[in-house]
Amino acid sequence: MFHLKDSWRKIGKTLSLFIIGTAASVCSCPAINPPFVVKHLGDGQSIVQIEEQKKYLLLPVEEASPEAKLYMIADNDVVRNMNVRLAVNKVDYFVPVDLTGFDKKHLSFNFQLIPDSAICWKEMKLSDEYDTSNREKFRPVYHFTPAYGWMNDPNGMVYKDGVYHLFYQHNPYGSMWGNMHWGHATSTDLVNWEHHGDAISPDALGTIFSGSCVVDKDNTAGFGAGAIVAFYTSASDRQVQSMAYSIDNGKTFKKYARNPILTSTQRDFRDPKVIWHEDTKKWIMILAVGQEMQLYSSPNLKDWTLESKFGEGQGAHGGVWECPDLIELPVEGTELKKWVLICNLNPGGPFGGSATQYFVGTFDGKKFVNDSPALTKWMDWGKDHYATVTWSNAPEGRHIALAWMSNWEYANNVPTQQYRSANSVPRDLSLYTFNGETYVKCTPSKELLKLRDKAIKKRTFKVDRTYNMDKLFADNTDTYEIEMTIKNKNAEVIGFQLFNSKGEEVEMSYNLIEKKFSMDRTKSGNVSFSKDFPTVTMAPIEGGNEMKLRLFIDKSSVEAFGDDGRFAMTNLVFPSEPYNRISFYAKGGSYNVTSFTVYKLVVSR
C-alpha cells in the first residue's frame, strides 16, 4: 500500500502559503478553554497558544472527519507537523502530542482545514497523563499490538544481546494509516513485549516507511562496533532510502547526516532489507521497486551498487511488490541450503488484497535465481498475513518471521479504535521438499509454548462430538490453543466449527477429495465493515490419512498450522462473544480424533 494522499510531501509548499495567510487575516476570538488561547483566522485556519505547562496536548479524533493539518511551533519555528482527523461532530478517542522539552511560553499550534464550529476546540485538553490501558474487547492477549494508534508492517526486527527489538509502522496521531513513524518494543522471549514509544520520527525528507536493522559487529560503517543500523524509506513526493544508527542498544537513534543514501526516479522504491552475505563479505540490500526487487551491495552500509534485478515473469504480479527479505535456510533431511526471497504483494493475494509469496533458489551475492519460475508459492493461505519479514541476527541460526495480521482491503476499517492492527504469532521458517519442490514451512516459534497454562486432554473420540472450553476449564476461556491429530477412516470431508452462543462460527474443514483445507469466516461475527471481509480461504494439502493441526485462537484471530507448519492460515475474526465451543462433523464416512488437547494461553507479565 502506498497512499499518494501522503500529505507530508506538500508540507514545504503549504506551510509558506499558510504563514503568509495567517499574517494577512488576523481575527482574534476570545479564549474558549482556559489553558489555551484559540484564535480563529478564517477559512478553517486557527492558532492555539499554550498557556499551561503540561506533558501532553490531547487531541480529540473523529475517524469520519477528513485529515486536518497541524503545525507545532516553538520559538516561531515549525518543530513537528502531523495530519489528524480532528473531531468535528463527535469524539471517538484522544491522541497525545508530547510537549516534553518545550516551554509553554514559546509553544503554539497552527491548525488548518478545521471549521470554527468543530467540537475539537472545546474538547482538546492539556494533561500530564495519557491513559493507554486497554479499552477494546478485540485487543489480542498474546499477539503484539501498539499501545495506541495505528500499526502496519513490522520493521527493523533485530536481535542483540538477548533482546528482540521490534519496530513497526506507527501512527501516533490516530488509529488509521498516516504520519508514519517507527514505533519500538522489546522482548526477551517473543511473547512478552515492552513498549518504548517511537524510535524514528518524520523529518524534512518525509515520513518513515518500512525497512530493516542490522548489527554492524565489525564497524564497517564507522558508527561504532556493534551499532544497530536502521534502514528505512523516507517517503514524501518521492521515495528515497535513509539510514539511522543507535550506539545505545536501540534506545535512541541518530539519523545519518548525509541521507538519503539511495535514490531513484521510480515512484515505488522502498522497504530496504539489509543482510550480511558471508561468502562475498558484503552487505546486501534488497529493495521493492514497483513489481520487481533490486539487489544492491555495499562494503560499508553507506555506498550501494546495483547488482541485479529480479521479478519479471516470476510469481504473482497482481499488485505492487513490497517488504522483501532474503534468507538462507537448510532443507530438511538434506545437507543442502537454499535461498528464499520473500516478496509481499498488494493487491493480488490468493483471496484478494495483501499476501506473502516467496521464491526458493540460489543467491551468489549478486543475483537471485528462482528454482521454479513457473510456480507461485504462498507463505500463508489466510487473508491476514502481510508484510512478513524476519529477525536479523537471531540466535541459534534461527529465521523467525513476523507478519502484520491484516489486509489493506479493510485494515483501516476493522472494528477497533484505541489501537488498530496486531501482528501474527512469530514463526520459525525452514524448508521441506514435496514432490520434488522445495517449500517454506512455518512452525509457530517455540516461545509460544510458554503461553500454555492449564491443559485439558481428551482420549480418542469419533465425529459428532462437541466440547465447551468454559466447561472443560471451569472458567471463561477465550484465548487458547488446540492441538490435535485426526486419523481418517473413509470420510470425504472432516470438519469442525468453533462457535459461540450467538450462533457465530468459524468453520474449518479438510476436503480429502479436493485435497484442501479451508476456513470459512463468513458467519464469524461482525463481518459487515467491509465487503471484502467475509471470505472462505483455502490451502492445498498433501493428502494422507493422518492430519496434525495446531490452532491459535486469540480475541480476534484464528491461526491454523497444519502438519508441523507445512501450511499456515491466518484470519481475523470479530465475534460478539468468544468462540468457546468446538464441534466435529464428517461427510461421506468417518474418522477418529486420536489426540486432542486444549491449552489455555496466558501472558505472564
Catalytic residues: 153
Contact 189, 162 (CB under 8 A): no
Residues in the chain: 605
Which residue matches cell numbers 496536548? 57
Helix or strand holding residue 507 (H, E): strand 505-511
The minimum distance between CB 543 and ligand FRU, in angstroms, equals 35
Q: Does 504 bind ligand FRU (CB under 6 A)?
A: no
Which three cell numbers, joined as nine digits, stand for 454? Answer: 492449564
Q: Which is nearer to ligand FRU, 2 or 585 (CB)?
A: 2
CA–CA gap between residue 37 and residue 454 (Å, rounded) = 57
Q: Which is nearer to ligand FRU, 4 or 27 (CB)?
A: 4
The 132-161 contact track toward ligand FRU, x by CB under 6 A, reads --------------------xx--------
C-beta neighbour count of 203 within 10 angstroms? 16
Pick 287 or 551: Cβ nearer ligand FRU: 287
Q: In this structure, what C-alpha cell is assigned to residue 132?
A: 493507554
Binding ligand FRU (rule: CB under 6 A), the pick from 2, 102, 276, 585 is 2
**Shortest Å distance, C-beta 39 to ligand FRU:** 34
Q: How far is the CB of 213 from ligand FRU (least distance, A)?
A: 15
Q: How far is the CB of 211 from ligand FRU (least distance, A)?
A: 8
b/e burial code for range 571-581 (CB count within 10 A of at least 16 → b): bbbbbeebbbb
Q: How far is the CB of 200 from ligand FRU (least distance, A)?
A: 13
**CB of residue 271 vs ligand FRU: minimum separation in angstroms?**
5
Q: Which of 387, 405, 463, 506 binds ligand FRU (CB under 6 A)?
A: 387
Of 123 and 271, nearer to ligand FRU (C-beta) is: 271
Which one among 67, 322, 478, 559 touches ligand FRU, defined by CB under 6 A? 322
Indicate the Cα dihedral angle 35, 39, 45, 47, nearest 10°. -50
Which helix (H) or strand (E) segment holds residue 151: the answer is strand 149-160
SS3 472: helix
Position 1 contacts ligand FRU (CB under 6 A): yes
3-state secondary structure 60-126: EECCCCCCEEEEEEECCEEEEEEEECECCCCCCEEEEEECCCCCHHHEEEEEECCCCCCCHHHHCEE
Interface residue with ligand FRU, options 47, 120, 180, 355 (CB under 6 A): 180
Which 270-289 residues touch ligand FRU, going by CB under 6 A?
270-271
Q: State which of residues 83, 233, 388, 535 lies at the interface with ligand FRU (CB under 6 A).
A: 233
Judged by beta carbon, residue 168 or residue 596, the one nearer ligand FRU is 168
Residue type present at position 285: M
Q: Which helix (H) or strand (E) holds 453?
A: strand 452-458
Given a contact cutoff of 8 angstroms between Cβ atoms, the answer to whether 568 and 380 are in contact is: yes
How many CB atoms are closer than 10 A to CB 225? 12
d(CA 605, CA 601): 13
In this chain, which of 209, 269, 363, 596 binds ligand FRU, going by CB under 6 A? 209
175 binds ligand FRU (CB under 6 A): no
In the complex, least distance from residue 302 CB atom to ligand FRU, rounded to whole angstroms: 21
> How many chain residues bind ligand FRU (CB under 6 A)?
14
Contacts of residue 545, Cβ cutoff 8 Å, sequence gap at least 6: 487, 488
* C-beta closer to ligand FRU: residue 186 or 239: 239
Q: Specify the residue, 202 or 444, whose C-beta has the smaller distance to ligand FRU.
A: 202
The CA–CA distances, whole Å, from 307 to 260, 286, 289, 364, 555 equal: 19, 10, 14, 11, 45
> Least Å distance between CB 82 and ligand FRU?
15
323 binds ligand FRU (CB under 6 A): yes
Q: Does 210 bind ligand FRU (CB under 6 A)?
A: yes
Q: How far is the CB of 599 from ligand FRU (least distance, A)?
A: 32
Number of C-alpha atoms within 13 angstroms, CB side, residue 96?
A: 18
Nearest Cα to Cα of residue 340 among 290, 292, 283, 378 = 378
Nearest CB to ligand FRU, comparing residues 148 and 150? 150
Our CB check for ligand FRU shows the closer of 3 and 459 to be: 3
Q: Which residues of 69-96 are buried (b: 16+ CB within 10 A; e: fewer)?
A: bbbbbbeeeeebbbbbbbbbeebbbbbb
Residues at the contact surface with ligand FRU, assessed by CB under 6 A:
1-2, 152-153, 169, 180, 209-210, 233, 270-271, 322-323, 387
